Structure 1
């Protein structure tokens, strides 16, 4: 049956776990230039501590059980295996909410958020049924079926997923790549999507702005706010975009290392989590995310999907549904980069950045309830 949905459990074979531990135990460590901190990448002491914890202290089986506590499924859409969590709320007034992670992330990003959405402590707080797919090429939405899996195609797959699940009305939420996918779903399925809620932060907004044609020409360096945006755009081009340049041009080449070396994969992801957060992310949660990449060999396939997006112009139709923005680590720059029409939901939080579901899940859950509650 083409629409078939199969129950799924994560069950990593023990020999895969033993192999990971052996690779970490026999890792070859480089020297580093003293006194540079994070300016040249992940410091040796930090990566050693993470790797040692991953090898001897981190309990993958406990995290596997934690993930398996949520109902998981797979289905095939457009020739691609799609893995997703579907966590129903006990509340009869719950809103179906499709939430999409970004890069370098996975559904593990939402482990602190799901219960807050499905079972809020306050009896009068809006509840949600949560549907959290793994993007094509990420974690258990692998192997990648072929080229072409940019955000537009992923969004079309999400529309089909929600049809298969029988939802006539639902909301969408995401950050980073997930924000683009969520906005495109709203444009493709506006008759069923009741609202689109996305998260961003000043650094991410400025980074995205570097890819918007003509954005720099619209900014005035004499204006203090515009000057800050231009400086961040320039810093991203010079110092922050190397990971993206490699994956946008040679995903196959970097993929060999991301699949074969747990140290490279760990450094690749840990660097971004460090740079893109200002609130602590628990090391076990970080390593759960990295482990999903490792056990599914998805370092390679996620690189290919970033390549696809860099070479795609498929953004889908614009959304006409109610839109909400939650800005974490807010400052005056984001409103300049993201102009919104009057009446758009706009929330600002002083702390948190790129991964609010991991950094500030209670604040994010509250904002989702504030936005979607009146749309129920």
Structure 2
């Protein structure tokens, strides 16, 4: 890969897809190989093993399937619920709404603990719900990308495992894996689902999920076949086990080149410096700096409590009188790409910045400085123009 550099481009700092390293992009351009070849089976087997390392698990079963992060919801609903099963969904934003919709599509009965805008679900409410009714699953979005609210996965899992130990703890980690600490085995999690294009710093297109032995047992003891063909673990579990043991297997063609890219990224995450824990610390440090700098010009965060603010992204309100068209095009002219609001009730009032992966880890790039400078200048210019129009 000697000398390979990606072409100059606008700095992509939406909350995913994110910037990817040259090595990862180069790996995505790997010459085509057979998905049944010994070479590829070794690479995907390594990916399965390294996925466990990223989530600090020794016993979890990874699933690497072509698809977006949304496919993870279908895997949970199709394989771990049957019609009439009760699920408690802790809803902290747009993606909580969508997860509920997916579960309902498969016939689950969903109760919600809904958090107020900018907050996470109250653990006291969770405990009350668990004591009042038996739930097969408690599910929540670790970082809801629509609000930047970070739920306390460790505390939620502790509550569920203490009050209702039979209940599965399911985490939508699409916007948290790789940028937030997740100790799968130690915290007693049962499923973490994610995708390639955020903290795992790989191009989009790979649905990544890890399931505990407890979750696999629930799947194996279900009374009827999974209500999906493509998302069925009945199809994928033997394939994943074969891949890891070095034996070719087939159900559907994996995204071969994307697996090579994922392998390159996982190698950086698990086999090189900074270590995973050092990466988490770098994300916390950069996140705090960005949030402090934006607060210094009067921009208010969506999360009401800093404890529940994500480390891989920031969501802030526009100043009074400004909206997305006043600010985001100015950022584009400065070669910085951010995302507008997403939550239905407030989407015109705020914008979102992703700060994950090499944007944080490779400090020599100066991405954080570029983000801060571009936002400050764009806000200042937009406010000045608004004032001139008033005059």
Q: Which has the higher contact order (CA 8 A, sep 6+)?
A: 2
TM-score (norm 1): 0.32
